[in-house]
Structure 1
């Protein structure tokens, strides 16, 4: 019932926007990940100012984004967890990376500021496994000599909804912790052993900000806007790095973007002394044969514009664009794969 009510509400919004927009340029409808929400919406404002076409993006989480495009409820779905090639083929979908960012562990500990607390993947996994329960645990102290850590219980926070950010976190923890891989695995939703679940990234940010001695994970734009305290993470090369555009780009440096597997590329735990270990690409998913071709065509124009003019907005919000060569490969895939019901390409 809850899912039906959700879609009912979204359908009502869509119909209202469609009626209001009949005499104007088209509205592009997108549903999905909260991770890139700020960027997509800021891009949408500038795109409308330049072209007259509007973007209506509903940040419902990656799971809802995949559901939406499968059900034909949107012009595009957005997900931080890419679909595998078999899923794309089965549902006649294509996907491409739109942005590169990173999931950021954050804490709310009195008198500890940005980057002062240092963690590694094993300790982060043990916190979320409930094996490390206090901030002055010897394992944390050993990584932070001289830092005054409180003798307080760790208040663990996580997403309760299906979330691409959760997938990135759990994908990373599965690579660095054999216990995590065996008992928890990588998924958009897992059976958490400890902690409090919160629905949505914005709500999670508010909860962390209001809860002393808490830890959670968020997207960089929310961390920046909420003035939350980020954690430095030790990467695969043993270096402690901060979450920023340079460390996200470093993690993506050696990625091999290929249309043959739907541009599916994991960026967690990448090599490189400057690489952020929880880096990720966030993806757009589009029908290869949409019922409403005009909406899909407008969506392609919007994303082409973001590739050409969206870099400054992306950087201001803590993200970076995909490499230029990947952009061209994406455009080539649009031309080859996305067609109207008569078989005509929607991108030329």
Structure 2
């Protein structure tokens, strides 16, 4: 009886938020408003699909600049934009500095590891331990015994490895270093997990386009970017070994299994850490999967349009994800998003 009552209340809550955030699902209310956002490059392929659709549905003119998660957090904190986007949730200090913001998960995807290795026939296998040693500088060539052990069927050259990293503050760096820190205590202690870290070796570049450009022009280089970016730019990327011992790719099934161990009710952002999922997640679980977030001020003159946009993104907008290797949000995550979105109120 208690469970039934709880379910009824939960459904009523979601319905209420639907009215608040997406009142026009049946008959869209037109708007002549504009929204300006900036931030993460990771979800940009998906956001670029959303923008014209939201314009058609609600008449909201949205502009989004993929400047990196750090810039997204800074922009919404300073209120120079209407919303920010970040692949990393805000720290306690960042949330305090934002002075009235909510952080809402609105997309789910994975980080790929593209590389440039001419003449090698077959996809390279890597794991967290090997990648951490590459970025620590202790593995420097592609025919290192640790890499050869993972790739017994490949004829790997003695080409120098050039690890490439984001020089700007990046949520993709946050997700990637979270994975490397989970895989390697040494990496965790020497480098750590953050949107911007001091890698002891390699070449830095700004944005996904920057690191990709370095890799394309540097034989032996590898980097980390979102899977959608790799696919759109026809980049060869590695398979990554998960806790089940399988080498997996950042595809729909791999990401879906990675998120399968989430609690049935999500009550905080801390529950959305899904890198290096346990063996129970499944044989195909991809170990560098991540949520990405939109940051909204809780008091905004554009609250109505912000609620419409973000509600649409986490509901109807999810159908645009799979072709870009974004997985639709699980029900528990959408319910959390609705509750957080309800905190956005009209103001000045």
How many angstroms does 1:297 deviate by? Answer: 2.1
Residue 56 (structure 1) aligns with:
63
Residue 112 (structure 1) aligns with:
120
Structure 2 residues not aligned, in runs of 5+:
1-30
Say whether the 8 Å CA contact 1:128–1:193 is kept in structure 2: yes
Over 3 Å counting, the alpha-carbon distance change for 1:156 and 1:85 in structure 2 is: closer
Say whether the 8 Å CA contact 2:103–2:340 is kept in structure 1: no
1:241-280 superposed matches below 5 A: 241-256=248-263, 260-262=267-269, 265-271=272-278, 272=281, 273-280=283-290
Q: Which of the numbers 190, 194, 205 marks the counterpart of 1:183?
A: 190
Over 3 Å counting, the alpha-carbon distance change for 1:33 and 1:222 in structure 2 is: same
Over 3 Å counting, the alpha-carbon distance change for 1:312 and 1:210 in structure 2 is: farther
Deviation string for 1:20-59 (max 9, x for gaps)?
xxxx721211111000011111110222133321210011
How many angstroms does 1:323 deviate by? Answer: 1.2
Residue 220 (structure 2) aligns with:
213
1:144-223 superposed matches below 5 A: 144-223=151-230
Residue 4 (structure 1) aligns with:
none
1:134 and 1:332 mapped to 2: Cα distance? 49
Say whether the 8 Å CA contact 2:266–2:332 is kept in structure 1: no
How many angstroms does 1:320 deviate by? Answer: 1.2
How many angstroms does 1:104 deviate by? Answer: 0.8
Over 3 Å counting, the alpha-carbon distance change for 1:267 and 1:36 in structure 2 is: same
Over 3 Å counting, the alpha-carbon distance change for 1:81 and 1:72 in structure 2 is: same
Q: How many residues align?
A: 314
1:113 and 1:54 mapped to 2: Cα distance? 47
1:263 and 1:183 mapped to 2: Cα distance? 23
RMSD: 1.9
How many angstroms does 1:311 deviate by? Answer: 2.8
Residue 128 (structure 1) aligns with:
135
How many angstroms does 1:250 deviate by? Answer: 1.1
Structure 1 residues not aligned, in runs of 5+:
1-23, 343-348
Say whether the 8 Å CA contact 2:307–2:344 is kept in structure 1: no
1:84 and 1:60 mapped to 2: Cα distance? 19
When normalised by structure 1's length, the TM-score is: 0.85
Over 3 Å counting, the alpha-carbon distance change for 1:259 and 1:239 in structure 2 is: closer
Say whether the 8 Å CA contact 1:108–1:212 is kept in structure 2: yes
How many angstroms does 1:87 deviate by? Answer: 4.4
Say whether the 8 Å CA contact 1:161–1:200 is kept in structure 2: yes
